């Protein structure tokens, strides 16, 4: 799951740094992801994993890092892609 998440963040997160240099728990916001970009990341995740993030999961923390996103997807019962 986390490698698929990395691909999506790479494509839609508009980071200021190369994601491959960051560990899973690095802050994506500190790496330059804007809240607008995080919406696109969420939409792309929903499309890729065929899930819907319920409103209560749409918090800054859930999209904070690759690890946080992966954990959130696992909470939504996404199996390893």
Closest to other proteins by CB, 21 vs 31, is 31
Q: How far is the CB of 35 from other proteins (least distance, A)?
A: 13
Please spell the DSSP secondary structure of the chain, one letter per residue.
Answer: -HHHHHHHHHHHS--SS-GGGS-TTS-TTTTT--HHHHHHHHHHHHHHHT----GGG-SGGGGSSHHHHHHHHHHTTPPP-
Closest to other proteins by CB, 17 vs 39, is 39
Closest to other proteins by CB, 11 vs 25, is 11
| Residue 41 touches other proteins, criterion: CB under 8 A | yes
């Amino acid at each position: 799951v986390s490698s698929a998440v990395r691909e999506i963040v790479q494509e839609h997160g508009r980071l200021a740094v190369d994601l491959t240099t960051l560990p899973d728990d690095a802050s994506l916001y500190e790496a330059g992801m804007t809240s607008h970009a995080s919406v696109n990341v969420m939409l792309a995740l929903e499309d890729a994993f065929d899930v819907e993030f319920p409103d209560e999961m749409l918090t800054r923390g859930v999209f904070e890092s690759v690890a946080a996103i992966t954990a959130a997807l696992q909470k939504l019962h996404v199996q390893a892609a």
